[in-house]
A and B are shown apart, each in its own frame.
Chain A
Amino acid sequence: MKRRALLPALLLLTPMLLGADEPMLVPDVSQREVEIQYSFTGADLLLFGAIVYPDGRRPKKPADIMVVLKGPDQSITMREKQKVAGIWVNADSARFRSAPSFYAIASSRPIGKVVDERTAAIYEMGVDKLQLSPSSLNDSAELDRFQKGLIDLRQRSGLYVEQQGTVEITDGVLYRARLPLSARVIVGDYTAETFLVQDGRVVAAAVRDITIRKSGFERFMAVAAEQWPFFYGLVAMMLAVGMGWAAGAIAKRF
């Protein structure tokens, strides 16, 4: 995990180490904190910012922007159903150590036209480029199948999002992208990375952190269920008995 994180980190640093000749990104997000409340049905995050070129010189060929929003990594077990003796049961399984719980990417043009395969793989640009770190002994064809299954599943539940060509760039210096957060997102620290790509090369990158947390009643419930399970269970029991009894008592009056 450490080593894997180091490579992109170094690459992110390169443009800065090269000095003031390279352009810079000044990114921001519409919400640094997303609160999950009783009416939470998902949210739209606006990721926007400015591209600052040295001396204000804009290149002749317009640059591209990619925005990646990533949730906390999870260690997961995936199971695949197969038909055994007439019924569908979980047969094969694979484990992945670092599957992002949420991943959304937006780009100003189709990803394949902006960067080549190699660059896309390095920066994890695109749902099919996610590095999931398999930790079980499956052969590569199997892992491939599982990875495709995961992507398909999560794309349909809105946890993995790919929106190619949706980043708007105004006058070559201002960009904005809108990414949907599904209602199924988990709480935790998210990162919003922005990449400036020129001629298939990442020339600038910047990161903003976003925190997603439950608030108020929802937070209280989640904490109570974990921290005070006995009282939580007691409340659930009393609630059920109380409501059942009350309904009976009310019904008797009519």
Chain B
Amino acid sequence: MDLYLPIANLSVNALVIIALGGVVGLLSGMFGVGGGFLTTPLLIFYGIPPTVAAASAASQVTGASVSGVVTHMSRGTVDFRMGGVLIAGGVVGAGLGVLIFRLLQAIGQIDTVIGILYVLMLGGIGSLMAKESIQALIVLKSGKKIQARKRRHHPLVAAMPMRWRFYRSGLYISPLAPLLLGVATGILTMLLGVGGGFILVPAMLYLLGMTTQSVVGTSLFQILFVTMATTMMHAMTTHAVDLVLAMLLLIGSVTGAQVGTRLSMTIRPEYLRVLLAAIVLLVAARMALGLGFRPDELYTVEVR
């Protein structure tokens, strides 16, 4: 079923895009991540212009995180104060992202930077996750307990001035730390169309030292608002949000997300995390190969 995308200026097979959204949604439901890290590269691979892909993927992440946020809010596992600071940072970051995006576009290096960022980010976090989840599996199999890591924030965070209390996160730290973290994820959201849950969750756990219960809810809360802001910024600056494309992705991903949530309850979380680590590393490897191998297209055309 072919459908013409009015902003991307090409026609795509609607079912393929819905399926793509579905798979990403399934993963996001299972693992509690937005899934933007998969959508953008897959869309580009399908032939959608990178800018349109990143802009439209952001709104898909919004859709995928809504129901998660609602659930976490009703359970009381969202730290609104922490979330607010992160969002403030995220919006600033998205604004900075616009500037960086334009600069890179002007010098023609946007694709390379996106590629390198993906490899570094996914490679780094994927290996971290793989290491940890395999350790967890070993523990599960052998029945031995490794000593729980003591929850504490990074010395750098402790050194920052001005301290606020974040009750739900169980923290008394400077708001600058989450603000900076928010800025970093905001930039990534703008450039890559990812939610940034990948960076946020580990950073909240290991850098800020937040309690595990409130990490996922708060990061989803931040992702929801920052992807909304990003969609808006793309609409205002790059004019690259394709509503038809976003709609197709959303149909697939919101359905997939619900199925994924159900599935995740039937599988042990330890196995889930090994699986997620594997997927992340796979995407990273694919992107790395893309940078290192001679590309299919040596030339790109940019219309001015």
| Interface residues of A, Cβ cutoff 8 Å to B | 36-42, 74-81, 83, 86-90, 93, 99, 101, 146, 149-150, 152-154, 183-184, 186, 214, 217-219, 221-222, 225-226, 229-230, 232-237, 239-241, 243-248, 250-251
Cβ of B217 to closest chain A Cβ, rounded Å:
14
How far is B109's CA from A150's CA once the two chains are assembled, in angstroms? 19
A79-B302 contact, Cβ under 8 Å, with A87-B291, A236-B231: yes
Evaluate contact between A232 and B300: CB separation under 8 angstroms. no
**Which residue of the partner chain, among B6, B66, B299, B303, contacts A244 with CB atoms under 8 Å?**
B66
Evaluate contact between A239 and B298: CB separation under 8 angstroms. no
Evaluate contact between A241 and B70: CB separation under 8 angstroms. no
Evaluate contact between B239 and A247: CB separation under 8 angstroms. no
Evaluate contact between B62 and A241: CB separation under 8 angstroms. yes
Q: Flag B208-245 by CB within 8 Å of A: 1 or 0 each.
A: 00000000000000001001100111111001010110
User: Which residues of B, 289-304, contact A by the 8 Å Cβ criterion?
Assistant: 291-295, 297-304
User: Which residues of B, 36-77, contact A by the 8 Å Cβ criterion?
Assistant: 59-60, 62-67, 70-71
A245-B257 contact, Cβ under 8 Å, with A149-B298, A183-B4: no
Cβ of B94 to closest chain A Cβ, rounded Å:
12
Residues of chain B contacted by A251 (CB below 8 angstroms): 67, 258, 261
Residues of chain A contacted by B247 (CB below 8 angstroms): 239
Evaluate contact between A244 and B62: CB separation under 8 angstroms. yes
Closest residue of chain A to B297, judged by CB?
A153
How far is B217's CA from A56's CA once the two chains are assembled, in angstroms? 84
How far is B134's CA from A109's CA once the two chains are assembled, in angstroms? 67
Question: Interface segment, B7-15, B137-145, B160-168?
Answer: B7-15
Cβ of B281 to closest chain A Cβ, rounded Å:
19
Closest residue of chain B to A36, judged by CB?
B4
B201 beta carbon closer than 8 Å to chain A: no
| Interface residues of B, Cβ cutoff 8 Å to A | 2-4, 6-7, 9-11, 59-60, 62-67, 70-71, 108-109, 111-112, 115-116, 224, 227-228, 231-236, 239, 241, 243-244, 246-247, 250-251, 254-255, 257-258, 261, 291-295, 297-304
Which of B60, B108, B224, B261 lies at the interface centre, i.e. has the most chain A CB atoms within 10 A of its CB?
A: B108
Task: Give 14 CB contacts A-B under 8 Å.
Answer: A37-B4, A39-B4, A40-B11, A76-B304, A86-B292, A88-B292, A221-B244, A225-B7, A230-B236, A239-B59, A239-B246, A240-B62, A245-B70, A250-B258
**Which residue of the partner chain, among A39, A77, A87, contacts B302 with CB atoms under 8 Å?**
A77
Closest residue of chain A to B298, judged by CB?
A81
Q: Which 6 A-B pairs have the closest CB atoms?
A: A248-B67, A233-B235, A244-B66, A247-B254, A149-B299, A244-B63
**Which residue of the partner chain, among A36, A153, A219, A237, contacts B232 with CB atoms under 8 Å?**
A237
Residues of chain A contacted by B241 (CB below 8 angstroms): 225, 232-233, 236
How far is B59's CA from A235's CA once the two chains are assembled, in angstroms? 11
Closest residue of chain B to A146, judged by CB?
B299
How far is B58's CA from A241's CA once the two chains are assembled, in angstroms? 12
Closest residue of chain B to A223, judged by CB?
B6
Other CB < 8 Å A-B pairs besides A81-B298, A221-B244, 16 of them? A36-B4, A40-B4, A89-B109, A93-B108, A184-B9, A225-B7, A229-B236, A233-B235, A234-B232, A235-B243, A237-B231, A240-B63, A240-B228, A241-B63, A245-B66, A251-B261
Cβ of B267 to closest chain A Cβ, rounded Å:
18
Evaluate contact between B67 and A247: CB separation under 8 angstroms. yes
How far is B235's CA from A76's CA once the two chains are assembled, in angstroms? 23
How far is B299's CA from A76's CA once the two chains are assembled, in angstroms? 12
A240-B6 contact, Cβ under 8 Å, with A79-B302, A150-B301, A153-B299: no
How far is B108's CA from A76's CA once the two chains are assembled, in angstroms? 13
Residues of chain A contacted by B116 (CB below 8 angstroms): 87
Evaluate contact between A90 and B300: CB separation under 8 angstroms. yes
Cβ of B235 to closest chain A Cβ, rounded Å:
3
Closest residue of chain A to B254, judged by CB?
A247
Evaluate contact between B298 and A244: CB separation under 8 angstroms. no
How far is B304's CA from A37's CA once the two chains are assembled, in angstroms? 25
**Which residue of the partner chain, among A99, A184, A246, contacts B10 with CB atoms under 8 Å?**
A184
Closest residue of chain A to B56, judged by CB?
A236
Closest residue of chain A to B2, judged by CB?
A41
Closest residue of chain A to B261, judged by CB?
A251
How far is B60's CA from A217's CA once the two chains are assembled, in angstroms? 21
How far is B294's CA from A217's CA once the two chains are assembled, in angstroms? 40
Cβ of B5 to closest chain A Cβ, rounded Å:
9
How far is B105's CA from A93's CA once the two chains are assembled, in angstroms? 13
Closest residue of chain B to A230, judged by CB?
B236
Evaluate contact between A186 and B235: CB separation under 8 angstroms. no
How far is B289's CA from A86's CA once the two chains are assembled, in angstroms? 11
Residues of chain A contacted by B301 (CB below 8 angstroms): 76-78, 99, 150, 153-154
How far is B301's CA from A233's CA once the two chains are assembled, in angstroms? 27
A240-B300 contact, Cβ under 8 Å, with A37-B4, A88-B295: no
A226-B239 contact, Cβ under 8 Å, with A236-B59, A240-B60, A244-B63: yes
Residues of chain A contacted by B294 (CB below 8 angstroms): 83, 88
